[in-house]
C-alpha cells in the first residue's frame, strides 16, 4: 500500500499492523519522521517513507512503487492539491491499482468536483467506468462519534458523514466486503472505512 500525503499516517500504520507492505509519502519531512516514529513498534522491514509531491511528481514515480492500493485521506483542501491528486490517482487507476480517497466536504464541496474532473480526465475509462464513479456519502458510525468527536467542532459543526471515493467501486468488485491487496495481506473495506473515520476524528482535534 502507498499512502499519499500521509500526515500522521494513521492508515499506513494500521495497514502495517495488519501485515501490509507500506510506503508512506508526504511533501513534509516532518510527517515522514512522525510516521517512522509511529512505525517503530511494528516491523520495520515492511515500512518505508518517501518524499512525494502530489502536484509536481510525474505519476510514473507512484507506479514505480508498485502499489496494489493507493490511499489518500483529506486532501481536497486546495484546488491545486485536489487537481494533482486526481491526476495521480487517475493514472494509478488506469494501471489497475485500487484507490481510495476521502473528503469531509472541503472547499465547500468544490474539492470533490475538482478532484473528479482531474481524475476522469486522466483515468482511461475501463470496464469499471470512471465516468460513473463518484463520492459516496457515508455516515460516521455512532461508536466512532462516541469516542468523543461529538464534543469536537470542525467548521462550526460536527461532521456526521464523509465522502468516500474508491475505484474500482467496491460494489462492482465484490458483493460483500472488498478485500484489498490480496497479494500481501488482507485489508477489508470495513478496515479502510474504519481508518477513514479515525482520520476524521483526528482531523477534528
Ligand X SMILES: C[S@@+](CC[C@H](N)C(=O)[O-])C[C@H]1O[C@@H](n2cnc3c(N)ncnc32)[C@H](O)[C@@H]1O
Q: Under the rule (CB under 6 A), what is the footprint of ligand X?
A: 5-8, 26-28, 31, 52-55, 73-75, 77, 81, 199, 203
Q: β-strands 98-103, 69-73: how paired?
A: parallel
Using CB positions, name the residue nearest to ligand X. 7
In the complex, what is the shortest distance from the CB of residue 58 to ligand X, in angstroms, rounded to a whole number? 13
Given the complex with ligand X, which of 164 and 199 has the nearer CB atom?
Answer: 199
Given the complex with ligand X, which of 45 and 64 has the nearer CB atom?
Answer: 64
Q: What spatial distance separates the first Cα and last Cα of the chain, rounded to whole Å?
A: 26
Given the complex with ligand X, which of 55 and 171 has the nearer CB atom?
Answer: 55
Task: Name the 3-class secondary structure at 165.
Answer: strand
Distance CA 114, CA 105 (A): 12
Given the complex with ligand X, which of 42 and 79 has the nearer CB atom?
Answer: 79
In the complex, what is the shortest distance from the CB of residue 7 to ligand X, in angstroms, rounded to a whole number? 2
Task: Name the 3-class secondary structure at 93.
Answer: helix
Taking Cα atoms as reference points, which of 107, 50, 51 lies closest to residue 83? 107
In the complex, what is the shortest distance from the CB of residue 87 to ligand X, in angstroms, rounded to a whole number? 12
In the complex, what is the shortest distance from the CB of residue 15 to ligand X, in angstroms, rounded to a whole number? 13
- Kindly state the helix (H) or strand (E) to which residue 70 belongs, with its residue range: strand 69-73
Extract the C-alpha cell encoding 189.
473495506
Amino acid at each position: 500500500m502507498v499512502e499519499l500525503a500521509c500526515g500522521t499516517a494513521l492508515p499506513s500504520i494500521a495497514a502495517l499492523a495488519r501485515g501490509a507492505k507500506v510506503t508512506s509519502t508526504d511533501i513534509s519531512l516532518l510527517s515522514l519522521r512522525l510516521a517512522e516514529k509511529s512505525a517503530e513498534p511494528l516491523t520495520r522491514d515492511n515500512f518505508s517513507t518517501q518524499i512525494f509531491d502530489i502536484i509536481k511528481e510525474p505519476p510514473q514515480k507512484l507506479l514505480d512503487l508498485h502499489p496494489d492500493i493507493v490511499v489518500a485521506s483529506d486532501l481536497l483542501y486546495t484546488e491545486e492539491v485536489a487537481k494533482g491528486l486526481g491526476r495521480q490517482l487517475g493514472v494509478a487507476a488506469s494501471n489497475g491499482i485500487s484507490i481510495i480517497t476521502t473528503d469531509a466536504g472541503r472547499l465547500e464541496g468544490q474539492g470533490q468536483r475538482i478532484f473528479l474532473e482531474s481524475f476522469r480526465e486522466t483515468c482511461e475509462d475501463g470496464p469499471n467506468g470512471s465516468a460513473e464513479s463518484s463520492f459516496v456519502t457515508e455516515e460516521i458510525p455512532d461508536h466512532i462519534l462516541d469516542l468523543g468527536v461529538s464534543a469536537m467542532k470542525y467548521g462550526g459543526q460536527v461532521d456526521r458523514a464523509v465522502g468516500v471515493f474508491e475505484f474500482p467501486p467496491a460494489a462492482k468488485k465484490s458483493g460483500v466486503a472488498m478485500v484489498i491487496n490480496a497479494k500481501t495481506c488482507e485489508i477489508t473495506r470495513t478496515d479502510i472505512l474504519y481508518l477513514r473515520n479515525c482520520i476524521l476524528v483526528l482531523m477534528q482535534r
